[in-house]
Amino acid sequence: MDGSKLPGATVLVTGSTGGLGREFVRQARARGATKVYAAARRDVDWDDPRIVPLRLDVADPDAIAAAAVAANDVDVLVNNAGGGGDPSLLTTDLADIRATFETNVFGPLTLVRAFAPVLAARGGGAIVDVHSVLSWLSQPGSYAASKTALWGLTNALRIELAAQSTRVVGAHFAYVDTPMTAGLDVPKSSARDIVGVVLDGLEAGATEILADDLTAQMHAMLPTISSGAFAETAPYTGATAHDSEGGER
Q: Is 143 tagged catalytic?
A: yes
Q: Give the CA distances from residue 55 to residues 14, 22, 23, 238, in Å, rounded to whole numbers and listed in that order.
A: 10, 15, 18, 32
5, 35, 37, 147: which is the annotated catalytic residue? Answer: 147
Which pairs from 19-22 meet CB under 8 Å and 24+ separation? 19/176, 19/177, 19/178, 19/179, 19/180, 19/191, 20/80, 20/130, 20/176, 20/178, 20/191, 20/194, 20/195, 20/249, 21/80, 21/81, 22/191
5, 35, 37, 143: which is the annotated catalytic residue? Answer: 143
Farthest CA pair distance, the chain: 49
Residues 6+ apart with CB under 8 A from 223: none
Per the CB < 8 A criterion, the answer to whether 213 and 182 are in contact is no
Q: Give the CA distances from residue 101 to residues 16, 26, 82, 121, 127, in Å, rounded to whole numbers and listed in that order.
A: 19, 28, 9, 29, 19
Tell which residue, 248, 249, 2, 242, has the closest CA to residue 122: 2
Across the strands, what pairs with 21?
Answer: none
User: Left, alpha or beta for 155 (phi > 0: left; psi -120 to 50: alpha)?
Assistant: alpha
Per the CB < 8 A criterion, the answer to whether 57 and 42 are in contact is no
Q: Is 236 tagged catalytic?
A: no
- Active site amino acids: 143, 147
